[in-house]
Amino acid sequence: MRAQLGLRQILASIGAEVLAKPEVVVFRAHERFDGDGALTDEFTRTVLTDLLSELAARIKRGS
């Protein structure tokens, strides 16, 4: 989590566009995936879907 924050700060300082919201932090990630690596936690799935939707909207807007 700290590395993500540090990377975001570095990218922002050089003028890179950073998608900061929604922020995704998956606590206890080892409990959120099954043995095959499939995401099983619905809340995490919803947060990731929101993040990807915002990213797709930014790409469509061209900004």
pLDDT digits (tens, 9 = 90+) for 1-21: 678 788 888 998 998 888 777
Per-residue HEC secondary structure of the chain comes to CHHHHHHHHHHHHCCCCCCCCCCCCCCCHHHCECCCCCECCHHHHHHHHHHHHHHHHHHHHCC
- What was the pLDDT predicted at 5? 82
| pLDDT for 31 beyond 80 | yes
* Stated pTM of the model: 0.65
* Closest by CA position to 53, among listed 29, 17, 21, 26: 21
**Rounded mean pLDDT of 16-45?**
87
| pLDDT for 62 beyond 80 | yes
